[in-house]
């Protein structure tokens, strides 16, 4: 197996790792309910399931 001839410094190692950053998820606000949710995901409000501001599934508990 190949072995490095010299030790790689911490600075050089960290320069290589600069591109791996944690990013915050992009959030959207529903125009119908005002609920903050992830883009392209369904979300619950009071037991009802919404997607793009439209009611997808209504729970039996609220009926």
pLDDT in tens, 11-55: 998 888 888 778 888 999 998 889 999 999 999 998 899 998 899
In the chain, what are the domain boundaries?
27-63
Q: For 49, how many CA atoms within 13 A lie in the half-sphere containing its CB?
A: 7
Q: Out of 1-10, 35-44, 53-62, which region has the weakest mean confidence (pLDDT)? A: 53-62
**Rounded Cα–Cα distance for residues 7 and 11 (Å):** 11
**Rounded Cα–Cα distance for residues 53 and 3 (Å):** 57
Question: Can you spell out the DSSP letters for 1-60?
Answer: ----SSPPPHHHHHHHTTT----PPPEEE-TTT--EEETT--EEETTEEEETTEEEE--S
pLDDT at position 63 = 54
């Amino acid at each position: 197996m190949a072995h490095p001839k010299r030790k790689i410094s911490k600075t050089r190692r960290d320069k290589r790792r600069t591109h791996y950053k944690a990013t915050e998820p992009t959030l959207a606000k529903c125009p119908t309910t005002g609920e903050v949710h992830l883009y392209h995901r369904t979300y619950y409000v009071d037991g009802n399931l919404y997607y793009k501001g439209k009611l997808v599934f209504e729970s039996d508990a609220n009926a």
